[in-house]
Amino acid sequence: MAFIFSGDDVCQTTTPTPIPAPYWVAFSHSSANLIGIALDDTGLPVDKEWLGVLSGNQLNTSDHHFSNPIATVYSGHQFGVWAGQLGDGRAILLGDIAGQELQLKGAGITRFSRMGDGRAVLRSSIREFLCSEAMHALGIPTTRALSIVGSDLPVKRETFETAAVCARFAPSFLRIGHFEHFAALDDVDRLREFADYLIQYHYPDSQNTDEPYLNLFQEICARNASLVAQWQAVGFCHGVLNSDNISVLGLTMDYGPFGFLDQFQIDHICNHSDQGGRYSYHRQPQIMHWNMACLASAMIPLLAGKSDEALAQEKLRSALDQFPVVYAHAWQSLFRKKLGFTTSEEGDIDLIERLLQAMHDSKVDFTNFFRNLGKLKSGESLLQNSLRDEFIDRESIDRWFDDYVARLKLESVPDEVRQHAMNQVNPKYILRNHLAQTAIEKAQDKDFSEVTKLLKILNKPYDEQSEYDSYSLAPPPNLQAVEVSCSS
């Protein structure tokens, strides 16, 4: 269901700004199939008009007409500080396609661009495209990416780069910032419209509860608690968890300076603009909880009505207190599965935490360790286990492996069954920064083959794909601490 709201206070009707000589950089077959775009033998749309539409150069194909593109207003907290009015400064919502909102990122200036140029560059567009599809393949809720269209139009960032437009879609791009914006304006009617829309189209079960708005808040919290637990389980760092970047559908969205962990460092910072480490890996659950508090504050008028505001605050606070409970349950369940446990035992959490501390101390590759852990044979000597060689403190990790093998014996599951189950939750392939950078550098020379290859590999992250083993390796030492910035 596309964005159904109208009015100058909510959105601006705007037309994408054309780019000169557009060309295809990448296209997602999976996304195209989901929204019903027919593809030819080359994997590109049969209807050639899609190049014009997805570049922002025209509004219609032979079958689809996007007659009312808009950019929406929202506000939010950025790095913990109220930033006031923000909005879609370079994202333009074309309209509905197969029940999804189709949006162009980098399609030109809108009323909300502030000091920006409304453009995106090839570098960041490739990163968002690949990570959106990689996260979907990992089974993590996310906005989807459809395509990248490039142009030789120069765009100034730290240096001059070339422009690109990334097409993405989602059931809704509504975010906490939409609620915060109208709460700041004391516009209860708009708040109610947003909440009623979410209940009608995305949280219908809330309608049948005693307090639909309170239940809506609880459900949004639960989805985002589960989401951040899934991030932690694959070592994903969002990088900019500002409240305006948080989906009220519990989707990963607004891919900027993200990064997957290589060497496990619990306090890893993937965004070099985040000098205080607010959005470091281990703080992501806490910050998501904080963002839910921002949403709770914005929703107070919906629960208060003519009654006591203090009572509304208390109800929302009580609901907010469930966030860490839902998160802990999801996190524990995921990490049990990563270790091959199908049951719950009293010492499991201690075992998980001891392992993560040891991995942190020795900077062990997060993805490869868990993937290779499934190969452990219950009858083999632990001294022959090459995984122990990844750790500095051999005595400590040997004790951990002794305890781990003892715990596995409680499962009574054959090694091959356990390995298969572990391989379904421990990916072999993630979008490592150095892989993305190689694809970007080739693309900047008009060679898009590496983007296509990475998309293919990342679409099956849990499969062995032995012909691509090199793409599962940890980065070389000089690329192990790569950080990215907010510039895109």
Distance CA 482, CA 484 (A): 7
Tokens 């975010």, residue located: 175
Helix, strand or coil, per DSSP, at residue 256: coil
Helix (H, G, I), strand (E, B) or coil at 342: coil
Q: DSSP string of 447-470?
A: --HHHHHHHHHHTSTTS--GGGGG
Taken in order 473, 474, 475, 478, is the CA torsion positive or negative?
Answer: negative
Mark residue 159 as left, alpha or beta (left: phi above 0; alpha: psi -120 to 50; beta: remaining). Answer: beta
Q: Which two tokens stand for residue 317?
A: 């606070």
Nearest-angstrom CA–CA distance, 311 and 297: 13
Residue 107 Rama label (left phi>0; alpha psi -120 to 50; beta) = alpha
- Residue 110 CA neighbour count, 13 Å, CB half: 26
Distance CA 476, CA 359 (A): 18
Q: Under a CB-based contact definition with an 8 Å cutoff, are residues 229 and 334 in contact?
A: yes
> How many CA atoms lie within 13 Å of 428's alpha carbon, on the beta-carbon side?
22
Token code pair at residue 351: 């075992």
Q: Are 365 and 477 in contact (CB under 8 A)?
A: no
Instruction: Please say if 402 is a catalytic residue.
Output: no
The strand pair at 100-105 and 91-97 is best described as antiparallel
> Alpha carbon of 48 to those of 31, 179, 263: distances in Å?
17, 39, 44
| CA gap 293, 297 in Å, rounded | 6
Which of 9, 96, 210, 244 is flagged as catalytic?
244
Handedness of CA 216, 227, 296, 194 (dihedral sign): negative
Catalytic residues, by residue number, are 244
